[in-house]
């Protein structure tokens, strides 16, 4: 191995590989390797300018061994003669690459497996490789983050996670370790991550180089702060979005929207936000209201604004071949390509292609249309649905973007889709500062989406108690991965039969939990689908598509309405506290939903508990996850805790049993 100190970065070359390790902010390193002639100019998620303290940086090369070390503050990387990297926090080993070949970690013959730490497998005729990077597994280590996966595991040690976005799956490849480090896989390629008992393995199916960021800290909060300093943080959430959001599948007419808003006003309930869902348009890709059912959008929005209600409208990235914009977009190359087979990439309610948001001209084209047909009417927020993007079949190997093969860059798609609207709205906000700050509801994202005002949500999940539990796990791991703006469909999205007492109980338990979360949002496709369509003669426009049952607070009976109204009042009392949490997220990256160990890292039990969480630093919340359950056990960390419902005080460091009737969620206030 040949080592070089190049302006404070450690360069190592062996055979055809070049390795570069350099300081990247406080107690952090960026690590790249390639078998091409040079590194690319892509920083991917590492977009923020970080400063390095020259006094913290040391590069030491031992030509006799040979080996080299690079230190940045509390993190040190040691590279041996075979190119194997070992990482230390202070003097404690935290991570080592896996190497089982003729030359091991001390340049000695250890194995004939020929399984190496960084494996570049050539793709025939391409400059990309399939890349596999392997690390030794640490016994007893716990791992968290990585975004949103539909599974019940908060600790992801032992899991294999697909590095790809799908409806209800959002890959944010940052992992936080109980050993005091965090690692970002800085690569938008499709692949997978396996956190096995025997080995940790990261795979990118098509890429030009290895690229990751590693940081250390004394606490999870320190690690998240270092990480978000490098990738960006969310702006401060506007306080007028912290109350009730009303949504359903789907308000089909202008009059339906106004009648719901008017009834809330009659009941004396302030509605912060109302949402206009999909197929209010003529065809996908037209990006306009269907005038038959939305004759005067501006008048509708003006009335809603007069009552202090913000308005959201759904926008999809799919473009029907019968859309008024299809031919021009296709001719200009603004749509996603396929390398073989049909050009169709999406088939829900039409023969569609998808916007190529990796093309800046395509992004500007779409924004100009949406500005004219929505923003200029006064729309406050865009609901960027299907933003993974959703595809008829997830055959990533046949799709291609302006940026390159879909396998190499698909995971950045939702970030660029969000940026399309963030950039456009930000420019308009400069002209008219009275406009609402940029916030957009998005179904998927990637590392750094938070800095573009992206409010992510859990996607089209089932209306079950299992999904409720999985959603809480997803929200906590999203927060660890740097996404503090996150929400969920109260009651789940699919297969919720409004006629059954079981669904109503689920809805209440979900609603109670959502009150102690980032955003309180009623949404769902409610069964049965027995609502007649408005137009049975056409296969286009806002009138022909189905809709679900009513989903307003009053839709589930007087008893349930009283419970939801009680908790809405609690939510409004919490607004000043929520504002504080959103300010913290902006300043240091701390999530709104926090694992117990985030606030109590010295308490070993807090690294074990997966069915409770901290709502900021003050409230411990213990949701109910099963039907007909009216009590539960709650672990209270060290300190003094007051039960919110009864006022009873407990000394922490113990597990207690508490009552939880249907109108109560166990919540404890940290004293």
Residue whose tokens read 């949500």: 457
Residue whose tokens read 């073989």: 340
Q: Is-contact 475 517, C-beta < 8 A?
A: yes
Calculate the alpha carbon distances from 424 to 198, 360, 645 in Å. 48, 12, 45
Strand partners, 61: 68
Which run of H or of E encompasses 636? strand 631-636
Which run of H or of E encompasses 257? helix 254-266
User: What tokens were used for 254?
Assistant: 């202008």
Q: Is-contact 622 649, C-beta < 8 A?
A: no
| Per-residue DSSP letter, 346 | B
Torsion of CA 288, 290, 294, 299, to 10 degrees: 30
User: What tokens were used for 35?
Assistant: 């078998």
Work out the angle at residue 120's Cα, subtended by the Cα atoms of residues 115 and 126, and round it to the nearest 5 degrees.
150
User: What tokens were used for 292?
Assistant: 């038959």
Give every CB contact of residue 500 below 8 A, 6+ residues apart in sequence.
Answer: none
Report the distance separating Cα 420 and Cα 317, nearest Å.
11
Strand partners, 109: none
Q: Is-contact 210 118, C-beta < 8 A?
A: yes
What string of DSSP letters covers 357-387? TTSHHHHHHHHHHHHHHTGGGT--EEEETTT
Q: Which of the residues are catalytic? A: 385, 388, 460
Work out the angle at residue 659's Cα, subtended by the Cα atoms of residues 656 and 663, and round it to the nearest 5 degrees.
140
Cα 81 vs. chain centroid, distance in angstroms?
39
Give the residue from 250, 247, 445 showing the smallest Cα distance to 357. Answer: 445
Which run of H or of E encompasses 329? helix 326-332
Q: Is-contact 482 227, C-beta < 8 A?
A: yes
| Helix, coil or strand: residue 205 | strand
* Residues recorded for the chain: 671
What string of DSSP letters covers 66-123? TEEEEEETTEEEEE-TT--EEEEETTEEEEEB--BSSS-TTSS---SS-B-SEEEEEP
Calculate the alpha carbon distances from 636 to 600, 614, 625, 648 in Å. 11, 11, 18, 13
Report the distance separating Cα 146 and Cα 479, nearest Å.
10
| Helix, coil or strand: residue 607 | helix
Work out the angle at residue 577's Cα, subtended by the Cα atoms of residues 571 and 580, and round it to the nearest 5 degrees.
140
């Amino acid at each position: 191995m040949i080592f070089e100190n190049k302006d404070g970065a450690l360069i190592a070359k062996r055979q055809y590989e070049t390795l570069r390790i350099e300081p990247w902010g406080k107690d952090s390193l960026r690590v790249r390797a390639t078998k091409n002639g040079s590194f690319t100019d892509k920083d991917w998620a590492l977009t923020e300018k970080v400063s390095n303290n020259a006094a913290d940086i040391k590069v030491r090369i031992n030509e006799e061994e040979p080996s080299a070390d690079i230190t940045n503050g509390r993190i040190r990387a040691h590279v041996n003669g075979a190119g194997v990297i070992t990482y230390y926090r202070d003097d404690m080993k935290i991570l080592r690459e896996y190497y089982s070949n003729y030359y091991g970690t001390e340049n000695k013959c250890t194995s004939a497996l020929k399984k190496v730490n960084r494996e570049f497998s050539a793709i025939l005729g391409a400059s990309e490789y399939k890349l596999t990077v392997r690390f030794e597994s640490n016994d007893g280590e716990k791992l968290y983050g990585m975004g949103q996966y539909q599974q019940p595991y908060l600790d992801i040690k032992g899991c294999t996670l697909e590095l790809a976005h799908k409806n209800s799956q959002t890959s944010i490849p940052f992992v936080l370790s109980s050993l005091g480090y965090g690692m970002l896989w800085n690569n938008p390629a499709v692949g997978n991550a396996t956190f096995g008992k025997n080995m940790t393995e990261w795979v990118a199916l098509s890429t030009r180089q290895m690229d990751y960021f590693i940081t250390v800290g004394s606490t999870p909060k320190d690690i998240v702060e270092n990480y978000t300093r490098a990738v960006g943080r969310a702006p401060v959430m506007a306080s007028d979005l912290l109350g009730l959001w009303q949504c359903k599948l789907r308000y089909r007419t202008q009059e339906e929207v106004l009648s719901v808003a008017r009834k809330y006003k009659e009941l004396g309930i302030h509605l912060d936000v109302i949402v206009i869902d999909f197929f209010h348009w003529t065809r996908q890709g037209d990006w306009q209201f269907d005038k038959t059912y939305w004759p005067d959008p501006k008048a509708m929005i003006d009335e809603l604004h007069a009552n202090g209600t913000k308005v959201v409208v759904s926008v999809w990235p799919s473009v029907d071949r019968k859309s008024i914009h299809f031919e021009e977009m296709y001719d200009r190359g603004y749509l996603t390509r396929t390398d073989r087979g049909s050009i169709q990439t999406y088939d829900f309610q039409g023969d569609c292609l998808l916007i190529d948001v990796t093309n800046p001209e395509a992004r500007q084209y779409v924004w100009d249309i949406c500005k004219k047909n929505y923003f200029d009417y006064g729309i406050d927020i865009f609901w960027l649905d299907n933003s993974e993007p959703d595809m008829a079949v997830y055959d990533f190997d046949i799709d291609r973007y302006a940026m390159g093969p879909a396998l190499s860059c698909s995971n950045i798609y939702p970030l660029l889709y969000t940026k399309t609207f963030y950039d456009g709205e930000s420019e308009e906000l400069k002209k008219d500062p009275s406009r609402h700050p940029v916030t957009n509801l998005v179904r998927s994202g990637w590392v750094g989406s938070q800095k573009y005002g992206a409010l992510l949500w859990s996607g089209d999940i089932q209306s079950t108690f299992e999904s409720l539990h999985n959603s809480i796990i997803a929200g906590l791991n999203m927060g660890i991965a740097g996404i503090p703006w996150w929400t969920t469909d109260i009651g789940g999205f699919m297969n919720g039969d409004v006629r059954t007492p079981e669904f109503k109980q689920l809805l209440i338990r979900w609603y109670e939990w959502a009150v102690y979360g980032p955003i309180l949002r009623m949404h769902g496709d409610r069964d049965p689908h027995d609502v007649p369509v408005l137009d049975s003669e056409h296969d286009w426009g806002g009138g022909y598509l189905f809709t679900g049952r009513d989903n307003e607070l009053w839709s589930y009976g007087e008893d349930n309405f009283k419970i939801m109204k009680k908790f809405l009042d609690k939510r409004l009392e919490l607004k000043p506290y929520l504002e504080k949490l959103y300010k913290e997220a902006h300043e240091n990256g701390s999530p709104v939903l926090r694992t117990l160990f985030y606030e109590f890292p010295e308490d070993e039990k807090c690294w074990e508990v997966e069915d409770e969480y901290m709502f900021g630093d003050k409230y411990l919340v213990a949701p109910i996850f099963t039907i007909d359950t009216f009590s539960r056990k709650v672990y209270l960390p060290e300190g003094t805790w007051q039960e919110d419902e009864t006022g009873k005080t407990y000394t922490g460091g113990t597990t207690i049993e508490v009552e939880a009737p249907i109108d109560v969620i166990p919540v404890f206030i940290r004293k």
